[in-house]
């Protein structure tokens, strides 16, 4: 009996195979059933098949659109995590939860959902440009596939270039062994994406350090008070947790963290 992961892989392979078969067979079958039988030309020889392609049909077919969507969906998790603000947001939220001392509250599902929607909020202008410059013209048949990819990636490249630190970019360029590019537009995506992720992690850890400091002070004060009172068997975290929650609520901690995250991209 195959495992669930193997079944998922088989279903994905079958879906891609079906899409390819639809691409090769489907359009021809539908045209053959809808169009009237052509009158054989005098020069046509018996036993041969002629295929007429309409050059005016520049818009991609529905089958091609489905294949593109399947490809994008298979790459969506990696693109979402590594090329957007999701990395910084989820790391900061996780560090905040650890600083509070509540390892399971809020749950992981809540943190991931909040990070996802915050990332969409931050990336809204970039996603709008990508849709207007690349996706819509391609679906209307105004540009080719290569032009659509180039126009779609351009706003995302600009966003990552603005958020990437020069030190991380120089490190990745040095590790790649390539010549130093004249500008950031000449840096390939295989080098820009890791540099962007490293910059996001560094920024997230800086914000996490600032969040940790006040909670660390509370832990130290509570531990000192318990030691002076001789209550060494009482866990300090149990006493400091209510004070940390009270402080976090009084200063509107979640609002401050979300504001800091959003303004770091403005």
- Whether residue 40 lies inside any domain: the answer is no
Asked, for residue 125, whether it belongs to a domain, the answer is: yes
The verdict on residue 45 lying in a domain is no
Q: pLDDT, tens digit, for every residue of 2-12?
A: 555 555 455 55
8 A C-beta contact, residue 160 and residue 193? yes
Q: Would you say 133 and 151 are in contact if contact means Cβ atoms under 8 Å apart?
A: yes
Tell me how far apart the alpha carbons of residues 78 and 109 are, in angstroms, rounded to a whole number: 18
In a domain, residue 208? The reply is yes
Give the chain's largest Cα–Cα span.
108
Report yes or no: 181 and 161 within 8 Å, Cβ to Cβ: no
| Residue 38 pLDDT | 46
For residue 127, being part of any structural domain is answered with yes
Residue 243: band (very low, low, confident or very high) from pLDDT cuts 50, 70, 90: confident
What range does the domain containing 84 cover? 62-263
**Is residue 118 included in any domain, yes or no?**
yes
Other Cβ atoms less than 10 A from the Cβ of 3: the count is 8
Better-predicted residue by pLDDT, 4 or 130: 130
For 95-117, how does the pLDDT look when each residue is reduced to its tens digit (9 = 90+)?
A: 888 888 887 888 888 888 888 88
Predicted TM-score (pTM) of the model is 0.66
pLDDT band at 73, cuts 50/70/90? confident
Contact in structure between 86 and 119 (CB atoms under 8 Å): yes
How many domains are contained in the chain? 1
**Does 138 have pLDDT greater than 80?**
no
Asked if residue 38 is part of any domain, the answer here is no
């Amino acid at each position: 009996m195959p495992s669930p992961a193997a079944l998922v892989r088989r279903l994905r392979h079958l879906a891609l195979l079906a899409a390819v078969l639809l691409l090769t067979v489907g359009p021809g079958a539908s045209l053959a059933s809808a169009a009237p039988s052509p009158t054989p030309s005098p020069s046509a020889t018996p036993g041969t098949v002629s295929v007429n392609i309409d050059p005016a049909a520049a818009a991609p077919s529905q089958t091609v659109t489905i294949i593109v969507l399947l490809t994008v969906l298979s790459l969506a998790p990696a693109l979402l995590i590594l090329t957007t603000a999701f990395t910084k947001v989820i790391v900061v939220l996780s560090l905040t939860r650890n600083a509070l001392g509540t390892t399971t509250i809020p749950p992981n599902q809540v943190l991931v959902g909040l990070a996802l929607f915050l990332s969409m909020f931050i990336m809204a202008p970039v996603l709008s440009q990508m849709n207007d410059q690349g996706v819509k013209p391609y679906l209307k048949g105004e540009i080719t596939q290569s032009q659509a990819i180039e126009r779609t990636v351009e706003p995302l490249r600009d966003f990552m270039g603005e958020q990437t630190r020069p030190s991380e970019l120089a490190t990745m360029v040095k590790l790649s062994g390539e010549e130093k590019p004249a500008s950031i537009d000449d840096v390939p995506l295989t080098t820009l994406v890791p540099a962007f992720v490293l910059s996001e992690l560094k920024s997230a850890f800086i914000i996490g350090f600032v969040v940790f400091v006040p909670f660390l002070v509370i832990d130290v004060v509570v531990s000192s008070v318990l030691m002076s009172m001789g209550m060494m068997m009482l866990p300090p975290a149990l006493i400091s947790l209510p004070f940390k929650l009270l402080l976090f609520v009084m200063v509107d901690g979640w609002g401050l963290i979300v504001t800091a995250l959003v303004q770091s991209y403005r």
